[in-house]
Amino acid sequence: MVFIIMILLLGLSQSQGCQPYGIRLFLGHYFSYLRNTQDVIRIVFNTQTECKEQFILEVFDNSSVEKLMISKLSYYETQLLNMTQIYENNDTTHFTYETFIHTFKISLGHINLNSSTSYNYTITSEKNSILSGPYKFDIPMTENEQKILVFGDMDSNWIQNYSKDTFDWLENEVKDDKRYDAILFTGDMAYDLESKNCEQGDYWLRNISVFTKRYPFMAAPGNHDWGNNTYFDFFRANFGSLFLKDYNTDHYLNDFFSFDLGMVHIIQFNPIKAVYQNDIYNITHLIVEQMRNDLILANQNRERVPWIIVYTHYPIYCTVPQNDQCKNNFKYLSAFEDLFVEFKVDLYLSGHVHTYQRNKPYYKNATSKYTQKDNVISQYSYPVQIIEGAGGTDYGTQNQTYPNGPFMEIQNPDHGIGIITIKNSTHLYFQHITVSNNKIIDSIWLERSSQEITSNRDIFEIVMWVLFAILMVITGVSIYFKKNQSKKQKKKLLDDSLIMTVD
C-alpha cells in the first residue's frame, strides 16, 4: 500500500518537474540589424527538470483551426541554468538552484503574414496533451501604428502587495485582447532576481507569464538584477536579449542591444559601471562606441524608421536627495548625451527612481532648445526624458515624490505604466496611466517636422548649394562691377579726349 503511494507521488513530482512555467515571448533577431528570418518570435519557458525533447509547440493561424507548425520544424533548444555551479567556488555565497530554459524560435517560413499577423500557440506534451495555452502572439508590422508598454522597478513578492495593481491592470489588457507590440521593461525586478537562492527570480518568472505569454518582454537590466557576483547570470539566461557578439569581452557583459519595431528604432544600454563609478576595466567607452555605430546605421535608415528611442535603467536627471547619480549622471553619461544630440534621439526612458517623472529636453544640466504648444513638443535638440519606475515594489519608500528640479515637468508616485503610440512618421503619442483606476494622468505628443528628418547628407547638400549660390552672386557682382569699371574708364578716356579737343 505504502509502496503504491510512493510510486504515485514519484509520478506526480516527475510531471510537475516537466510542467512549463514562466511562459514568455521575446522579439528575435528578425528585428535587430541581423534581420534573421529564422528568429522572428521566441517562445521561452522553464521546467524544474530537464525534460529534454518532451515538448511540442503548436501554432495556429487565428482564422483556421489547422496547425501551421509544430516544434519539429522550428528551432528548439534546452539550456541548463546551474546557479549551484556558478556560486560553487564563491567564498561568501553558496546555494542550490537549477532550472531548465526551453526556447522555441518561430521563423518567417512557418507563418503567413499575408493571411494573418495574429497567432495562437500551445505547448503540448509528446503524447499531445495540452500543458499550457492556448495563448496568442502578434507579429509587429511596419504598416500599422506601433503600441509599446513601458514600466519598471517591480516585484511579485506579495508582502505588501504593492505590485498587485500593476499585475491586475496588465492581466486585464490581456483579457481584453489589447494589442501591444512589446513591453520595454526599465529594469529591477523581483528584488532581487537572485535573492533567497533565486527563489525570488523563479517566482517572478511564474508570475509575469500572465502578461509575458502575450507581449514580448524586452528588459533592461537594473542594479537589482545583477546577482551577488554582479554578473547578471540569472538575468542573461532567462531574458532572451538580442546581444551581438562583436563586443563581448571577459569584463564586458555586452549589455547593449537594439531592434526596429515598425517606425521606431529602439536601443537598450546598461551603463551600470559608469553610474556606480566602478568601471575598473574601462568598458564604458566600448558601449559608447557600440551605440555610435548603431546610431550611424539607424540614421542612414531614418527615412524608413524615423523614430529613435533609447531606454535603460538609469535616469540622467532626477532629484532624490543625497543621491550621487541624480547629481552627477549627466557627467557620468555625458558621452551618451552627446550621441543623443548628434543623432537626434527622440525619447529617453529609464526607471530606478520609483515614480513617474517627465522632464523637459535637457542637456549638460541645462535646458536644451525645444518648442512646446499645449502638449505638443517639437523642434527639440535633445530627447524628452521619462522615468517609468512605478511598477510597484516592497523595496524602498512608497508613494513618494522628490524635490522639484528645474528640468521637471511632472512627477507622480502612484503605480503606473507608460504607453507609447507611434502614430506615423511625424507623430508619437505618450500617455502615463495610473493602474489602480486606469486614468491617464499625463500625455504628450512628439512632433518631428520634415525639416528635422533631414539627414546629415541632406544638410551637406544644402550647404554646398548655398556656397554655390554665394559664389554665383559674387561672380555676378564682380562681372557687373568689372563692366561698370570699364564703362567708367571708357567715359574717362572720352572725357580726356573731350578735354583734349577742347584744349
Catalog residues that contact ligand NAG under the rule CB under 6 A.
60, 62-63, 65, 80, 82, 84-85, 88, 90, 92-93, 95, 98, 112, 114, 116-118, 120, 134-136, 156-158, 160-161, 194-195, 197, 203, 206-207, 228-229, 282, 285, 365, 398-399, 406, 414-415, 423-424, 426-427, 436
Which residue minimizes CB distance to ligand NAG?
Answer: 206
Q: Which residues contact 378 (CB under 8 A, 6 or more apart)?
A: 370, 371, 372, 446, 447, 448, 449, 452
Q: Taking the complex as a whole, how short is the minimal distance between the CB of residue 84 and ligand NAG, in angstroms?
A: 4
Count of beta carbons in the 10 Å neighbourhood of residue 404: 9
Q: How many residues would you count in the chain?
A: 503
Closer CB to ligand NAG, 135 or 235, in the complex = 135
Closer CB to ligand NAG, 202 or 260, in the complex = 202
Examine residue 192 and say whether the peptide bond preceding it is cis (omega within 30 degrees of 0).
Answer: yes
Closer CB to ligand NAG, 335 or 456, in the complex = 335
Three-state DSSP class for 378?
A: strand
Q: Taking the complex as a whole, how short is the minimal distance between the CB of residue 291 and ligand NAG, in angstroms?
A: 14
Q: Taking the complex as a whole, how short is the minimal distance between the CB of residue 458 and ligand NAG, in angstroms?
A: 19
Closer CB to ligand NAG, 405 or 456, in the complex = 405
Q: Taking the complex as a whole, how short is the minimal distance between the CB of residue 267 and ligand NAG, in angstroms?
A: 21
Q: Taking the complex as a whole, how short is the minimal distance between the CB of residue 75 and ligand NAG, in angstroms?
A: 19
Q: Taking the complex as a whole, how short is the minimal distance between the CB of residue 225 and ligand NAG, in angstroms?
A: 14
Closer CB to ligand NAG, 34 or 210, in the complex = 210
456 backbone φψ class: left, alpha, beta (φ>0; ψ -120 to 50): alpha
* 449 vs 168: CA distance, rounded Å: 38
| Residue 431 · residue 443 · CB < 8 Å | yes
Q: Taking the complex as a whole, how short is the minimal distance between the CB of residue 354 and ligand NAG, in angstroms?
A: 11
Closer CB to ligand NAG, 311 or 340, in the complex = 340
* 267 vs 298: CA distance, rounded Å: 10
Q: Taking the complex as a whole, how short is the minimal distance between the CB of residue 470 and ligand NAG, in angstroms?
A: 34
Closer CB to ligand NAG, 156 or 355, in the complex = 156
Task: Return the DSSP state at 189.
Answer: B
* Cell reading at 175: 483579457
* 311 vs 348: CA distance, rounded Å: 6
* 381 vs 386: CA distance, rounded Å: 16
Closer CB to ligand NAG, 62 or 372, in the complex = 62
Q: What is the DSSP string of 35-66?
A: --TT-SEEEEEEESS--TT-EEEEEEETT-SS
